[in-house]
Amino acid sequence: MKGLYASEGWFMKLMEGNNKFVVKDPQKAHLFYMPFSSRMLEHSLYVRNSHNRTNLRQYLKEYSEKIAAKYRFWNRTGGVDHFLVACHDWAPYEMRHHMEHCIKALCNADVTLGFKVGRDVSLPETYVRSARNPLRDLGGKPPSQRKVLAFYAGNMRGYFASDLARALEEQRS
C-alpha cells in the first residue's frame, strides 16, 4: 500500500470496497476483475539476482487456469471480459500468453511489451509514502520551485522515449 507500486494495491482496495463495482450475480457483470499484485509476485517468488522470471509466469499461468476451470465466464470469451491491474515493470512479460486477451491496466504502457492501444489502459504510477495518509506529500513542490523539468528511469524502449530524449537535448543546446 506504499512505495512505487502502490497503485495496484490501492486499486484493489478501492475496487473491493465500492458496492457500485461489485455484483453478486455474474450474469450482470460487464467485466471480471482478476486481483493479484505483480509487486507481491516479484517479492515472494522471484529468486534474487537469478534473472529468471519463469516461476512468476508459471504462477500466473496456473492462476488463469484455475479461474478457467472454476468459472465458465473465462471460457466463454477466453478472458476478453476480464481485467487486471499491474504496476511492476515485469508484469507485461509475466502475463504474456496466459493473460494475453485480458484488459490490462498497466503502469508500464509500453506498446513494444504488449500494451494494446484501444484495449488496455495506462494507470499512473504514484509513489505513496504513507499507507495511512496516501495523499501526504503527493505531487511534490509547485512547478515554479522545481529545478528539473523531466525525469525518466528505465530503458530507451520504443520510439517515444528516444524522441523525447532527443527533443529535450535539443532544447538544452
Nearest by Cα to 34 from 71, 2, 3: 71
The one-letter amino acid at 56: L
Q: Is the pTM of this model over 0.95?
A: no
**Sign of torsion, CA 17 19 21 24?**
positive
Position 83 pLDDT exceeds 90? yes
Distances (CA, A) of 9 to 12, 29, 127, 140, 145: 5, 22, 12, 22, 31
Position 135 pLDDT exceeds 90? no
Position 111 pLDDT exceeds 90? no
Instruction: Write out pLDDT tens, residues 20-39.
Output: 888 889 888 999 999 888 88
| Beta bridge partners of residue 104, listed in sequence order | 84
